[in-house]
Amino acid sequence: MAEPWRFEYFTLRSGLRMRVARAGSGPLVVMLHGFPECWYSWRHQLRALSNTFECVAPDLRGYGETDAPVGVMNYTGDKLQGDVVDLIEALGRKCAAIVAHDWGAGIAWGLAAQRPEVVQRIAVLNCPHPRRLEQALRSSPRQLARSWYMFFFQLPYLPEALLRAGNFWMLDRALRGSSMQKDAFTDDDIVQYRAAFKNPYSATAAINYYRAMFRTALRSSRVERKHAFGKIAAPTLLIWGEHDVALGKELTYGMEDLFTGPFEIRYIPDSGHWVQQEKPDLVNQLLREFLSPLAVRAA
């Protein structure tokens, strides 16, 4: 059976050339992947939701066939958020629902806080609100230990050398090794993820997300960071695979005061961090229910 998506390339207002997987028609849903992934992370959702929505899953800046500009500060939050705003514009829309996981969700949180006019709804998968993560890194030794890789990624050269080693053996280990559902990733799936790093700079680009985040945090005050990730008005759904080895479930507690709009958490007990791939049918059902008001409004 043929897949529903096709690949298209857009040159954004910034000049960045971005590849997207695009499927379906209807209200726009933009799907943002995490690390170390690519558009392919949303294969199950593209298949399930494109009969009702126009689903667009880009390779984010630095990944796959999207441009990978050189330099740490080309991967700051404002540039990553700007890419999404520019993509929505390039698609001929003024706003979209955002579905996002991991680093893509970090982008989505900032976008919903700073550019609320472009975000109709936001569904986040296994990524806490940045203010909760910052609090935990300051106060929880357990979460600090879980987040060791964020600090390791601040080193020059070594992190990307390890990522590339053994035909990206660490990528395979990160995906399969930390998943609860071990059949979530086939050998063919791993080939797709390796392809996302075929650009010689892509490994560095992906790690630069973490480097830019730390550098931005060091240069900004707590008041500035609070403003950057202010309260969110868009209806929000947080889907959380409970067996996340990097992000503790406790990061989801006490988030209600960060929202002025409707907010709901749905926990999935038999999934790890890669929840949309480990439990695709359940995630698709939750997303379909959450996004359904957009389809009704468009009818």
Contacts of 137 (CB under 8 A, 6+ apart): 143, 144, 147
Please indicate, yes or no, if residue 58 is contained in any of the structural domains. yes
Please indicate, yes or no, if residue 110 is contained in any of the structural domains. yes
Q: Choose the catalytic residue: 67, 83, 102, 244.
A: 102
Least confident of 6-10, 173-177, 265-269: 173-177
Domain span holding position 54: 6-298
* Cβ contact 101:243 at 8 Å: no
pLDDT value, residue 219 = 80
- Tokens 């893509």 locate to 104
Which CATH number belongs to the domain containing residue 95 in this structure? 3.40.50.1820
The pair of three-digit structure tokens given for residue 67, joined into one six-digit string: 């441009």
Please indicate, yes or no, if residue 236 is contained in any of the structural domains. yes
Please indicate, yes or no, if residue 158 is contained in any of the structural domains. yes
The pair of three-digit structure tokens given for residue 267, joined into one six-digit string: 């926990």
* Cβ contact 211:72 at 8 Å: yes
Q: Mark whether 273 is an active-site residue.
A: yes
Peptide bond preceding 293 in cis form (omega within 30 of 0)? no
Per-residue pLDDT of 198-223, as tens digits, reads 999 999 999 999 999 999 988 876 65
Q: How far is CA 68 from CA 64, 97, 215, in A?
A: 9, 25, 19
Q: Mark whether 243 is an active-site residue.
A: no
Q: What is the number of domains present in the chain?
A: 1
Q: How far is CA 151 from CA 46, 101, 106, 147, 207, in A?
A: 34, 21, 17, 7, 11
Neighbours of 72 (CB within 10 A): 18
Q: Mapped to the 3 state alphabet, what secondary structure does 152-221 carry?
A: HCCCCCHHHHHHHHHHHHHHHHHHHHCCCCHHHCCHHHHHHHHHCCCCCCHHHHHHHHHHHHHHHHHHCC
* Cβ contact 275:40 at 8 Å: no
Please indicate, yes or no, if residue 1 is contained in any of the structural domains. no
Please indicate, yes or no, if residue 123 is contained in any of the structural domains. yes
Res 299 pLDDT > 80: no
Q: Mark whether 102 is an active-site residue.
A: yes
Q: Choose the catalytic residue: 33, 101, 129, 273.
A: 273
- Provide mean pLDDT across the span 120-137: 93
What residue type is 148 in one-letter code?
A: W
Give dist(CA 272, CA 244) in Å, integer. 5
Contacts of 208 (CB under 8 A, 6+ apart): 62, 71, 72, 74, 75
The pair of three-digit structure tokens given for residue 127, joined into one six-digit string: 């990524």
pTM of this prediction?
0.96
Per-residue pLDDT of 135-188, as tens digits, reads 888 888 899 899 999 999 999 999 999 999 999 999 999 999 999 998 999 999
Question: Residue 252 has what DSSP assignment?
Answer: G
Q: Choose the catalytic residue: 40, 63, 193, 210.
A: 210
Please indicate, yes or no, if residue 157 is contained in any of the structural domains. yes
Please indicate, yes or no, if residue 105 is contained in any of the structural domains. yes
Per-residue pLDDT of 219-251, as tens digits, reads 876 655 665 578 899 999 999 999 999 999 999
Phi-psi region of 174 (alpha: psi -120 to 50; beta: other; left: phi over 0): alpha
